[in-house]
Amino acid sequence: MLGNDCRFGYDMAAVNLHLSYNFHRKDQNLVSSLAEGQAPPYMIIACCDSRVDPCTVLNLPPGEAFVLRNIGNMVPVYSAQSACSSAASAIEYAVLHLKVKHLVVMGHSRCGAVKALMGIEDDGSNRFSEFIEDWVLILKNASKKVKSIHKVAPFAEQCTACEKEVVNASLWNCLSYPFVREKMASGDLTLHGGYYDFVSNAFESWTLDLSCLNDVDKVQ
């Protein structure tokens, strides 16, 4: 159990000084507004990777984004039986309760989760973990698509392609949630893909094609 003197290896005096000068004193009006509640326009689904904090990448101040981070910025397909899904509950809260206007799935370069996904044999003979593989395999179709299209490419290039394909697959899985489709059909929600290459410092973004919403059954 953590004691009151636990400092996580940080100088707490410096941390509090930073918060005081760079947040509370810098914009007291923002602090007062946030104290009343949150109304972020964005939900961002990003990776846990320590190198790509989404709010830092997108230069978003506190209160602008409701953020879900998991290994590989992955979204599982909707299931009424997924009562314990943190991703599903976060998406539901953001869309129905916070009423965000934009849902962004943000991938990144050198993603370890995607590398793990791409390295899994079709027969599962090279399992290496207790939990990671079961999680990343929710988007196994993304890796299969990339391996089919880029079969002669080097593994590193395949991983880069899959990093972007995972974003697209997660966006399509977002459409499997009925309340997401409803909000998109009414024009109250837009889905976006993003990809940050932190090595070259380049950011790409795109918006999901809405033509599929003419027939809701197509995205189920």
The answer to whether the CB of 75 falls within 8 A of the CB of 94 is: no
Q: State whether 160 and 205 are in the same domain.
A: yes
218 has a pLDDT exceeding 50? no
Q: State whether 46 and 69 are in the same domain.
A: yes
Expressed as residue numbers, the domain containing 150 is 38-219
Domain count, the chain: 2
102 known ligand binder = no
Average pLDDT over residues 204-214: 75
Residues contacting residue 72 through CB under 8 Å, at least 6 positions apart: 47, 111, 113, 114, 117, 135, 136, 139, 166
The answer to whether the CB of 101 falls within 8 A of the CB of 41 is: yes
Q: State whether 14 and 59 are in the same domain.
A: no
What pLDDT is stored for residue 219 in this prediction?
43
217 known ligand binder = no
The tokens of 213 are what? 């919403």
203 vs 25, more confident = 203
Q: State whether 5 and 114 are in the same domain.
A: no
Q: State whether 22 and 116 are in the same domain.
A: no
CA of residue 216 relative to chain centroid, distance: 24
Distance separating alpha carbons of residues 196 and 57, to the nearest angstrom: 8
Task: Kindly indicate the confidence band of residue 211, based on its pLDDT and cuts at 50, 70 and 90.
Answer: low
CA of residue 1 relative to chain centroid, distance: 31
Distance separating alpha carbons of residues 40 and 43, to the nearest angstrom: 7
pLDDT tens for each residue of 41-82: 999 999 999 999 999 999 999 999 999 999 999 999 998 776
What pLDDT is stored for residue 28 in this prediction?
76
Q: State whether 92 and 168 are in the same domain.
A: yes
The tokens of 104 are what? 């962004």
Mean pLDDT of all residues belonging to the chain: 88
14 vs 148, more confident = 148
Task: Report percent pLDDT > 90 for the chain.
Answer: 67
Distance separating alpha carbons of residues 45 and 67, to the nearest angstrom: 6
Q: State whether 92 and 193 are in the same domain.
A: yes
Q: State whether 138 and 192 are in the same domain.
A: yes
**Nearest-5° Cα angle at 149, 220 to 205:** 65
47 known ligand binder = yes
CATH code, 145: 3.40.1050.10
97 known ligand binder = no
DSSP character for 42?
E
Task: Kindly indicate the confidence band of residue 84, based on its pLDDT and cuts at 50, 70 and 90.
Answer: low
Distance separating alpha carbons of residues 55 and 67, to the nearest angstrom: 9
What pLDDT is stored for residue 33 in this prediction?
85
What pLDDT is stored for residue 85 in this prediction?
84
Q: State whether 117 and 207 are in the same domain.
A: yes
Q: State whether 124 and 163 are in the same domain.
A: yes
Average pLDDT over residues 92-100: 98
Q: State whether 31 and 45 are in the same domain.
A: no
26 has a pLDDT exceeding 90? no
Distance separating alpha carbons of residues 76 and 87, to the nearest angstrom: 7
Alpha helices, DSSP H only, in the chain? 12-19, 28-36, 54-57, 86-92, 112-119, 132-136, 140-149, 155-174, 178-185
**β-strand partners of 179:** none
Q: State whether 100 and 207 are in the same domain.
A: yes
Helices (runs of H) and strands (runs of E) counted in the chain: 9, 5
